[in-house]
Amino acid sequence: MKVVGLIAEYNPFHNGHAYHIQKAKELTGADSVIVLMSGDFVQRGAPAVMSKYLRTQMALQAGASAVFELPVCYATGSAELFAYGAVSLLDRLGVVDSLCFGSECDNLSELDKIASVLVSEPEAYSCVLKRELKKGASYPSARQKALQSYFQTEDCAFLLEQPNNILGIEYLKALKKLHSKIRPYTIRRVESDYHETELQEHYSSASSLRHFLTRSEQFPEDLERQVPSSVLPLYRETFRREYPVTPNALSSITQYMLLKTPVKKLCRYMDMSEDLARRIKNQFHHYTDYQQFCELLKTKELTYTRISRALLHTVLGIKQKRTDAFLNDQVHYYAHLLGFRKDQKQILSVIKKESDLLLFTRTADEKKLSKAGKAMRRQDVFASNLYQTLISGQYHTPFENDLKKSVLKI
């Protein structure tokens, strides 16, 4: 059995994602597709537009064999942390032969060349990096200039301006650091640009779909050409009942957390520097909502995404010290299964046999976890339960405790 791994957010699931699943199987010759997906909060520092269970069901209906959840401390981390957390989990499942990711350039050798330099940090690269950082450049900008200097070309500048290329490089770095046997593949993104807000003919970006869905009061019929026919009924049935959830759903709780937390304690949360914590306190009287405050706090050195992640980590209680402890220990303690296809269930038996991780499928499995594993699991459960309060508050539906959710089977 050949297995390809995909790392995704599916925020929300669309034609491009279905194409990725199909193309990954064709390119790698895989029999099964394991998806490692962010849970209810995503890497840009916001709640997902729809729950992890809705997105899992869509992925399975579109051809994924099984979907596992990426722990929230990694799912909401920087590109480097997100990639390392995801690749290390795929690696430890013990069955994944290949990793297929989307990129804007579709040139694995160029991406791998950059990844090799970033991992080995040769002196010619690190000297320029340090010099640029001393000048006050942001880390991404300093890294870009150091790579340009090292390769004596500006080609890498373009590659590092594209979000999927950046993530792809981080996946390749993680594979190298882990000395993983997983073989990487990349496919080109089709039709849409990552940051587009206008719908395209068939392959629109997740950003444009979120923009579209959150501004529609009635179910948008234009969605029919943007998502696979297999998932359209689920989109239709749950619209304005379970989704969309927007970043501003976090406005009140974020305002409360920032009001009650002093600067010193704010600095304990992941992605929160002392400068940002002080800026938050200085500008707090201008707070109106989550997105507005992130925009207000933006500077040349602090991006919107970095700020939103810091605010989200404050709300979720994700502290830097705890995440560092996970990384310095086992990184992962379990593989939380969200759902699987019944006709592909044999892959679960193989994982149980080959992986050194606990295959987490029910609440009772928590008893088998170490103290650190239980701490990671508590973070994940709290994040999902908080997300459920956002849904129930917005759509006036009963609260559903994540501990009572069952693995999806289709």
Which residues have C-beta within 8 Å of that of residue 110, sequence separation ≥ 6? Answer: 155, 159
Q: Please choose, from the candidates 196, 201, 195, 171, the residue with its C-alpha nearest in 3D space to the C-alpha of residue 183.
A: 171
Upper half-sphere CA count for residue 290 (Cβ side, 13 Å): 22
Task: Report the interhelical angle of 163-178 vs 108-120 (nearest 10°).
Answer: 60
Q: Is there a binding annotation on residue 15? A: yes
Select from 183, 170, 167 the least CA-distant residue to 5.
183
307 labelled binding-site residue: no
- Determine if residue 278 is labeled as part of a ligand binding site: no
CB 332 within 8 Å of CB 71: yes
385 is in an annotated binding site: no
For residue 293 the two structure tokens come to: 């405050």
Question: Is 14 known to sit in a ligand binding site?
Answer: yes
Pick the closest to residue 75 from 352, 353, 338, 363 (CA basis): 338
Give the residues across from 4 on adjacent strands: 33, 98
Q: Determine whether the annotation assigns residue 179 to a binding site.
A: no
Amino acid at 316: L
Question: Is 9 known as a binding-site position?
Answer: yes
The span from the CA of 368 to the CA of 64, in Å, is: 28
Of 316, 315, 296, 360, the residue nearest 334 (C-alpha): 360
Is 20 annotated as belonging to a binding site? yes
Q: Which of 8, 78, 44 is nearest to 320 (CA)?
A: 78
According to the annotation, is 7 in a ligand binding site?
yes
131 burial type by CB count under 10 A (0-12 exposed, 13-18 middle, 19+ buried): middle
17 is in an annotated binding site: yes
For residue 347, say whether it is annotated as part of any ligand binding site: no
Q: Is 125 annotated as a binding residue?
A: no
How far is 19 from 382, CA to CA, in rounded Å? 33
**Residue 13 counted as an annotated binding residue:** yes
The per-residue DSSP string of 126-154 comes to HHHHHHHHHTT--HHHHHHHHHHHHHTSS
d(CA 336, CA 37): 10
| Residue 410 CB coordination number (10 Å) | 11
282 labeled binding residue: no
Q: According to the annotation, is 142 in a ligand binding site?
A: no
Please enumerate, by residue number, every residue annotated as part of a binding site for ATP.
7-20, 102, 164, 189
- Which residues are annotated as part of the binding site? 7-20, 102, 164, 189
